[in-house]
Amino acid sequence: MRKPTMGAAEENLPPVESVFNPMSSAYCQNPVPQCLALAERGRLVWFAPWQSWIMTQLDDVMDCWKREYLSSDFYDWEYAKPRPPESEWTNFERAMIGHSLLADHTHHRLIRKIVSPAFSRNVVDEIQRRIDPDIKKLYADLGEPESFDFIEKVARHIPFISITRMVGVPEKYWDDIKPCIMKFTEAWNPTLPQERIQAAVDASNRAIDIIIEILAERRKLPHQENDFISVLLKAEETHEDFVEGDIITLILALIGAGADTTLIGQQWTAYSLAKHPEQAQIALSSPEAFTNAFSEVMRWGSPGKMGFARYASEDMELLGQQVRKGQMILLMPHLKNHNPAIFENPEVFDVQRKFDPDVLFGYGPRFCIGASLAKRQLYLSMSEMFKRFPNLSLESEPERDEMDHNSIAFKKLMIKTNL
C-alpha cells in the first residue's frame, strides 16, 4: 500500500490513530475528545487503520454533499470485490451492482425524482397509520412492569415493523423476510467472517424472491393513491427508466439505510429523554418540537463512528492532499457536534437548541429519503412510552456495546416505569 504524502507540520505530530480510535473503549465511553482532536488535525486526514481519508470540517462536507464530486458507488472502492460477470449474478448482485441509488449522479437524481411521490406527506401518513397499532401493541404487551429493557422489548422490533408495514409484506412471509431485515447490512461488511456475510447474502436473496412475489400479487390489484408499493408500481408503468429491479433495489436500500439508524436513533432518544425527563414534555409537545429534539439527541450523544463513505473515481488533489483513484473518503459531519465554536455549552442537552444548518439527515441530492418516516416512527414510539409511563426514569447507566463497528450502541437500556 502506497502511503499518502504528508506535509511537514503533520510529520511532527503523533500518528492520527493515537488520538482517534472509534473502536476503543475510551471512544465508546466518550467520543468527544477524540472527535475534537481529529478535527484539529486538518481538513482531510489520512487514517491508516481504515485505509481511508477523513473529511473533518462541516463546510467541506456540505460542499461535497452539494456538488457530488466524489463517487457513492462502493464498487469504485479500491478494496471492493471485483464485479462478477453478469451471467453469474444472483438476485442480490443484480440489485446491488446496478444499484440505482448509488449509481452515477445523473441516474441517481432521475430515480430520486421518480420515487419522490412514494415519500410524499400522504404516503408517509398512511404508513404511520399502519405502524401506529403495532407500536402501541409493543407497549401494551409490556403490561405494568417495574422496569423493562427498551432495546429488547421495543427498539429492535421497530425496523421490522416499519419495513413490513411500508412494503405491505403479508404475514405469511414474515418469518422468511425477518433475517434479511435484521442482518442486511452484514451482507457487504468486509470486516465480518465470510460465513456470516454469506448468510446475510442468502437471506437477502430469499427476501428479493419474496419481494418479487409480493409485486406480482400487487400488480393484479388496483393501485391506491397513498400506498407505498402502489405508487412505485405506477411509476414502473409510466417511466421506462424505472423497472422492477429499481423497486427491489429501493426497498433493499430502505432496509440497509433505515434499520440500524432507526435502532440507534430509538436507543439514544429513549436514553436522552429518560436522563432529562424535565425536557421530555417539550420534546414531545409536537412533531416539529420532536424533530428539533431528535437533532439534539444525536448531537449530544454523537453515536456515529464511521461517517459516510465516498470514493475517488480518479486521481485528484483534494483539500491540499493527493488522493488516488479508488481511495475511500469518509465524510464526518459529527466531528463538529461538541465544538464550542459551533455550539454554545456543547455538553448541555437542550432540546430547544437551534440548528442552522441541521445536517443530521444529510444535505443536497442525497438527503435522507426516509427522514420524515424516521422522525414519525420515533415520535410515535416515544410519545407512547411517555404516555404509558409518565414518570419513567433510567434504572441505571447502560453498558455500552463496544463491538458495534458503526455506532455507539447500548447492550441493554433498562427503563424504570415508576408506576
Is beta strand 414-416 parallel, antiparallel or unpaired with respect to 147-149?
antiparallel
Q: Is 362 in the site for ligand HEM (CB under 6 A)?
A: yes
Cα 213–218–222 angle (5° rounding)? 165
Q: Around Cβ 201, how many Cβ atoms within 10 Å?
A: 21
Smallest separation (angstroms) from ligand HEM to the CB of 115: 9
Q: At what angle do helices 194-219 and 174-183 cross, to 10 degrees?
A: 130
Q: Which residues are within 8 A (CB) of 113 and not within 5 positions of it... i.e. 6 or more apart?
A: none
Euclidean distance between CA atoms 177 and 110, whole angstroms? 29
Q: Which of 360, 385, 414, 415 binds ligand HEM (CB under 6 A)?
A: 360
Segment interacting with ligand HEM, rule: CB under 6 A, options 124-132, 274-282, 366-374, 400-408: 366-374
Residue type, 307: G
Segment interacting with ligand HEM, rule: CB under 6 A, options 144-152, 229-237, 251-259, 276-284: 251-259
Smallest separation (angstroms) from ligand HEM to the CB of 11: 32
DSSP string, 361-379: T--GGG--TTHHHHHHHHH
By beta-carbon proximity to ligand HEM, the closer residue of 16 and 102 is: 102
Please name which of 407, 365, 369, 370 lies closest in space to residue 70, comparing C-alpha atoms.
365
Query: Residue 345: exposed, middle, or buried by beta-carbon count in 10 A (0-12, 13-18, 19+)?
Result: exposed
Q: Which of 214, 235, 253, 274 binds ligand HEM (CB under 6 A)?
A: 253
Tell me the residue number closest to ligand HEM, measured at CB.
Answer: 370
Please name which of 310, 317, 280 lies closest in space to residue 297, comparing C-alpha atoms.
280
Three-class DSSP category at 294: helix
Q: What is the DSSP letter of 98?
A: T
Smallest separation (angstroms) from ligand HEM to the CB of 52: 14
Q: What is the DSSP letter of 185?
A: G
Q: Return the residues of window 301-330 that contact ligand HEM according to CB under 6 A.
A: 308
Smallest separation (angstroms) from ligand HEM to the CB of 45: 19
Smallest separation (angstroms) from ligand HEM to the CB of 253: 4
Euclidean distance between CA atoms 297 and 286, whole angstroms? 16
* Contact pattern for ligand HEM over residues 73 through 102, marking x by CB under 6 A: ----------------------------x-
Euclidean distance between CA atoms 390 and 254, whole angstroms? 33
**Considering CB under 6 A, how many residues would be counted as binding ligand HEM?**
20
Q: Which of 96, 370, 372, 398 binds ligand HEM (CB under 6 A)?
A: 370
Smallest separation (angstroms) from ligand HEM to the CB of 196: 23
Q: Which of 212, 218, 368, 402 binds ligand HEM (CB under 6 A)?
A: 368
Q: Is 265 in the site for ligand HEM (CB under 6 A)?
A: yes
On whether the CB atoms of residues 325 and 313 are closer than 8 A, the answer is: yes
By beta-carbon proximity to ligand HEM, the closer residue of 70 and 200 is: 70
Q: At what angle do helices 244-275 and 371-388 cross, to 10 degrees?
A: 40
Q: Is 27 in the site for ligand HEM (CB under 6 A)?
A: no
Segment interacting with ligand HEM, rule: CB under 6 A, options 39-47, 83-91, 237-245, 257-265: 257-265
Q: Which of 91, 164, 230, 262 binds ligand HEM (CB under 6 A)?
A: 262
Segment interacting with ligand HEM, rule: CB under 6 A, options 23-31, 197-205, 208-216, 249-257: 249-257
Please name which of 368, 400, 406 lies closest in space to residue 151, comparing C-alpha atoms.
400
Q: Is 232 in the site for ligand HEM (CB under 6 A)?
A: no
Q: Return the residues of window 105-134 that contact ligand HEM according to CB under 6 A.
A: 112
Q: Is 200 in the site for ligand HEM (CB under 6 A)?
A: no
On whether the CB atoms of residues 352 and 284 are closer than 8 A, the answer is: no
Is beta strand 409-410 parallel, antiparallel or unpaired with respect to 328-331?
unpaired
Q: Which of 55, 114, 374, 408 binds ligand HEM (CB under 6 A)?
A: 374
By beta-carbon proximity to ligand HEM, the closer residue of 262 and 417 is: 262
Q: Return the residues of window 130-159 that contact ligand HEM according to CB under 6 A.
A: none
Euclidean distance between CA atoms 258 and 206, whole angstroms? 19
The residue ranges that bind ligand HEM (CB under 6 A) are 65, 101, 112, 253-254, 257-258, 261-262, 265, 308, 360-362, 366, 368-370, 373-374
